Amino acid sequence: MVKICGIGAGYVGGPTMAVIALKCPSIEVAVVDISDSRISAWNSNKLPIYEPGLEEVVNQCRGKNLFFSTDVEKHVHEADIVFVSVNTPTKIRGLGAGKATDLTYWESAARIISDVSNSNKIIVEKSTVPVRTAEAVEKILTHNSKGIIKFQILSNPEFLSEGTAIQDLLNPDRVLIGGNQDREGLEAIQKLKAIYVHWVPQDRIITTNLWSAELSKLADNAFLAQRISSINAMSALCEATGAEVSQVSHALSKNTKLGPKFLNASVGFGGSCFQKDILNLVYICESNGLTEVANYWKQVITVNDYQKGRFVKRVVTSMFNTVTGKKIAILGFAFKKDTGDTRKTPAIDVCRGLLGDDACLSIYDPQVTKEQIHKDLSVSSNVVKQVSVVGDAYEATKEAHGICILTEWDEFKSIDYQRVYENMRKPAFVFDGRNILNVDKLREIGFILYSIGRPLE
């Protein structure tokens, strides 16, 4: 029986390893993490992350060929293939701070692998890493194992999106595997490919050299984020000219050279990946002396920050230039629907902006806890009275002067807005940061409605 060990039981490691276990009953999969609380949660009825369909997959395999453990050494030691899905955040200190990737967790995983291995292994980079990381990893592994044990490093970046992780893993557009182009490297690529062919059609499995695979992941996220910043930049122009961004998006989406996805104007993109990976790309470009290329990609982030700032400004200016002491309902705090993840969510910047103008916020998100929201907003004793986290949209909007929709949860589309309107202060404002509401219907009820990229009334 082939044994796989997945290091890192987070948003990527957990679902990815669970789907491999589901699709390959003959493979034993152990997912390990240094965090006791995360592993206990994976072994409980309340999984540490919310992801539609994940619970069913875990319930089918856990205890059979899928195990969650904190015994990193034991499972790495026993494995033939080790997937590394540890976090690779942006460095906050030192050389390249604010842009470069912090590879501390990756390096510590590599050192554990070299310490406990006494058989040849394939090491799979699942984490998103700077291009040429495999070279550094190889040095750590071979120098520490004194060359006796042979490691083959593969880059197999993960393209899942949160909220649709299981669907994306079960039916991926493509699986990318990069490896050394010598005989041993090509053999390792085939071994990893043999796992995916259990459920992924052969023609969707792309094999490349190591550096192309590593860079393709950064390129992928940069291209996606760039489309959002492009349409968001257009949304500002739409508001100034009378064009409607949804009509512009629709027209663009029919251009077969562009395609329909990632054209929704919004309050801005969030999530743990886009900003971090673009900053990493910027840093790599700068390190290679490519200043213009670095500046080009930096603009994607600049426009995203502009879009969040513009939203706050719109709220304050529409509400007669003052939100001091006014209750504003925040509907949605996660960075997108169907996840409880708040990493880099635009809601943090919008809420901080409104708190800076002394608004009182009543926040509701179906999956984000009060503790998480307080932590994200760094709610200290002087602003604690300004922030309340409540259990439903009706409570959040009661007696409010305005509503900000910051996440596109489906349930926000089916709220009884007539009832909401009756319980609000007048004039009642709605700022739809995700363009999910029916503009005509809400205006008919009496709301003053602002949505992204549409002219004001």
Indicate the annotated binding residues.
8-13, 33, 38, 86-90, 127-128, 162, 273-276, 343
Choose the one of ligand UDX, ligand NAD, none that binds residue 221, judging by a C-beta under 5 to 8 angstroms depending on kind.
ligand UDX
**Stretch near ligand NAD under the rule CB under 6 A, chosen from 52-60, 86-94, 250-258, 402-410:** 86-94
Concatenated DSSP letters for 269-333? --SSSHHHHHHHHHHHHHHTT-HHHHHHHHHHHHHHHHHHHHHHHHHHHHTTT--TT-EEEEE--
Q: Are 329 and 402 spatial neighbours (Cβ–Cβ below 8 Å)?
A: yes
Q: Which of 180, 275 has the CB closer to ligand UDX?
A: 275
Size, binding site for ligand NAD by CB under 6 A: 27
Distance separating alpha carbons of residues 428 and 433, to the nearest angstrom: 16
Q: Which of 151, 269 has the CB closer to ligand UDX?
A: 269
Distance separating alpha carbons of residues 17 and 70, to the nearest angstrom: 15
Distance separating alpha carbons of residues 392 and 363, to the nearest angstrom: 9
The interface with ligand UDX within residues 127-166 (CB under 6 A) comprises 158-162
Q: Which among 274, 282, 347, 273 is positioned nearest to 308, based on CA atoms?
A: 347
Catalytic pick among 24, 273, 285, 351: 273
Token code pair at residue 446: 């009496």
Q: How far is the CB of 269 from ligand NAD (least distance, A)?
A: 12
> At CA 113, angle to CA 109 and CA 117, rounded to 5?
170
Distance separating alpha carbons of residues 180 and 160, to the nearest angstrom: 24
Among 269, 297, 333, 431, binds ligand UDX (CB under 6 A): 269
Choose the one of ligand NAD, ligand UDX, none that binds residue 433, judging by a C-beta under 5 to 8 angstroms depending on kind.
none
Burial class (CB in 10 A: 0-12, 13-18, 19+), 63: exposed
3-class secondary structure, 155: strand
Is residue 131 at the binding interface for ligand NAD, with CB under 6 A as the rule? Answer: no
Choose the one of ligand NAD, ligand UDX, none that binds residue 9, judging by a C-beta under 5 to 8 angstroms depending on kind.
ligand NAD
Choose the one of ligand UDX, ligand NAD, none that binds residue 335, judging by a C-beta under 5 to 8 angstroms depending on kind.
ligand UDX
Distance separating alpha carbons of residues 29 and 82, to the nearest angstrom: 10
Q: Which of 157, 179 has the CB closer to ligand UDX?
A: 157
Size, binding site for ligand UDX by CB under 6 A: 19
Site string for ligand NAD, 57-76 (x = CB under 6 A): ---------------x----
Residue number of the CB atom closest to ligand NAD: 10
Active site residue 273: yes
Among 5, 6, 17, 33, binds ligand NAD (CB under 6 A): 33
Measured CA to CA in angstroms, residue 139 lies from 51, 132, 146, 151, 410 at distances of 36, 12, 10, 10, 48
Q: Which of 245, 347 has the CB closer to ligand NAD?
A: 347
Distance separating alpha carbons of residues 402 and 382, to the nearest angstrom: 23
Among 228, 294, 315, 354, binds ligand UDX (CB under 6 A): 228
Distance separating alpha carbons of residues 252 and 249, to the nearest angstrom: 5
Q: Are 281 and 99 spatial neighbours (Cβ–Cβ below 8 Å)?
A: no
Site string for ligand UDX, 237-256 (x = CB under 6 A): --------------------
Among 28, 42, 82, 87, binds ligand NAD (CB under 6 A): 87
Q: Please say whether the dihedral angle defined by the alpha carbons of residues 124, 127, 131 and 132, taken in this order, is positive or negative.
A: negative
Question: What are the residues binding ligand NAD (CB under 6 A)?
Answer: 7-13, 32-35, 38, 72, 85-88, 105, 108-109, 127-128, 158, 160, 162, 272-273
The residues annotated with a catalytic role in the active site are 273
